[in-house]
Amino acid sequence: MFGFLLRRLAVLIPTFLGVSIIAFSFIRLLPGDPVALLSGERVMSPERHAQISAQLGLDRPLVMQYFDYLGGVVTGDFGSSIVSKQPILDQFLALFPATVELSFCAIIIAIALGIPAGVIAAIKRGSFFDQSLMGIALVGYSMPIFWWGLLLIILFSGILQWTPVSGRISLMFFFPPVTGFMLIDSLLSGQKGAFVSALSHLALPSIVLATIPLAVIARQTRSAMLEVLSEDYVRTARAKGLSPFRVVGIHALRNAMIPVVTTIGLQIGVMLAGAILTETIFSWPGIGKWMVDSVFRRDYPVIQGGLLLIAGIIMLVNLVVDLLYGLINPRIRH
């Protein structure tokens, strides 16, 4: 297992370098000059433009800029935003817990509902339940997040007034962040009602963000289960007289889990992309919104730093998924 871990870690280094080159060069391939954007319609003189470019190091050859950047990253310095002038790592660390909290809740919802739904649909293949579930999953998968989020806000917050419209917690509560996770911080604050408020703020955005992964997981679970349920060993297990619960829950489900775990791992990447839209709609102060704003402002350091950090996290998630395969199916370790 240790050798397996080392092999996987060794692959991460070139991947990380590749991502850093892509993150660095792609944003520079886009037309648009970050220095000119600082002044908008107000024209900047060529001298000032040159002066500011020099201050930001943007006048140096691209290769030099890249190595400067890489040198910084290795020592933990991701640079500062051109626009806000704040260190990128500080901003990322302040915003990332909000994205993690939202994505975590969403993936929990997606797994908790998606896997059982897929299993039931597989067992009752062709039934009304199966067909309607897969129909709903298809709709969920095709739903534009932006529209779906607004629809839920109008229904649950506007008309029914069950949930707050946006934000992470009611403005009545005010306490300094300890962990950055609002659910935990609200409990730590000891303020009455803070946790419930945080939870109610989390409900709609998690549901919106969970929608697509939920649909994908349900469909994937169903097809994996269908395949496994037709295997000989399942028939043998049934013939042995095991209870249907044991046959499905122990024998079939465990073997069907490998493609499902892969899907869940991939969905975490998809979720970070979905978080961009969800965060924008629900004014959720996470990294998705931060990155989008930076693209519009051509804030190179934020985009490349943010991309690299996000890619690093996705690589780690993939590593964990790989390790999980090993746990689910020991043959994969070799």
Partner 1 sequence: MKVKLALAAALLSATFFASAASAKTFVYCSEGSPEGFDPGLYTAGTTFDASGHPIYSRLLEFEPGTTKPVAGLAESWEISEDGTVYTFKLRSGVKFQTTDFFTPTRELNADDIVFSIGRQIKTDDPWHQYVPGTSWEYAAGMGFPDLIKSIEKVDDLTVKFTLNRPEAPFLANLAMPFASIMSKEYADSLDAAGKKEQLNQMPVGTGPFTFVGYQQDAVIRYKKNADYWGPAPKIDDLVFAITTDASVRYQKLKAGECHLMPYPNAADVKSMKDDPNLTVLEQEGLNVAYMAYNTTQAPFDKVEVRKALNKAINKQAIVDAVFQGMATPAKNPIPPTMWSYNNAIEDDAYDLDAAKKMLEEAGVKDLSMKVWAMPVSRPYMLNARRAAEIIQDDFAKIGVKVEIVSYEWAEYLERSKDKNRDGAAILGWTGDNGDPDNFLDTLLGCDAVGGNNRAQWCNEEFNSLVKKAKTTADQEERTQLYEEAQVVFKREAPWATLDHSLSIVPMRKGVTGFTQSPLGDFTFEAVDISE
Residues at the contact surface with partner 1, assessed by CB under 8 A: 30-34, 36-45, 48, 52, 55-56, 80, 82-86, 91, 94-95, 98, 150, 153-154, 157-158, 161, 164-168, 171, 174, 176-177, 280-283, 285-286, 289-290, 293, 298
Distances (CA, A) of 38 to 33, 57, 81, 99: 9, 15, 12, 28
Q: Which are the contacts of 42, defined by CB distance < 8 A and separation ≥ 6?
A: none
| 60 token code pair | 């140096």
Q: Which are the contacts of 41, defined by CB distance < 8 A and separation ≥ 6?
A: none
- Rounded Cα distance between 306 and 297, Å, is 14
Q: Which residue has the tokens 């969905």?
A: 267
Q: Which is nearer to partner 1, 167 or 312 (CB)?
A: 167
User: Which helix or strand (DSSP H or E) is residue 316 part of?
Assistant: helix 300-328
CB of 294 to partner 1, least distance (A): 12
CB of 114 to partner 1, least distance (A): 28
**Which has the closest alpha carbon to 321: 92, 137, 107?**
107
Q: Which is nearer to partner 1, 136 or 187 (CB)?
A: 187
Q: Which is nearer to partner 1, 262 or 280 (CB)?
A: 280
| 270 token code pair | 């998809």
Q: Which amino acid is at 38?
A: L
Q: Which is nearer to partner 1, 69 or 325 (CB)?
A: 69
| 168 token code pair | 């992470």
CB of 173 to partner 1, least distance (A): 10
CB of 33 to partner 1, least distance (A): 5
DSSP string, 132-155: HHHHHHHHHHH--HHHHHHHHIII
H/E/C letters for each residue in 46-95?
Answer: HHHHHHHHHHHCCCCCHHHHHHHHHHHHHCCCCCECCCCCCEHHHHHHHH
Q: Which is nearer to partner 1, 24 or 282 (CB)?
A: 282
Q: Which is nearer to partner 1, 31 or 126 (CB)?
A: 31
CB of 176 to partner 1, least distance (A): 8
Q: Which is nearer to partner 1, 153 or 271 (CB)?
A: 153
CB of 136 to partner 1, least distance (A): 26
CB of 201 to partner 1, least distance (A): 11
Q: Which is nearer to partner 1, 267 or 294 (CB)?
A: 294
Q: Which is nearer to partner 1, 74 or 171 (CB)?
A: 171
Distances (CA, A) of 278 to 109, 264, 286, 292: 15, 19, 10, 12
DSSP 8-state symbol, 125: T
| 113 token code pair | 């509902």
CB of 279 to partner 1, least distance (A): 9
CB of 22 to partner 1, least distance (A): 20
- Rounded Cα distance between 305 and 311, Å, is 10
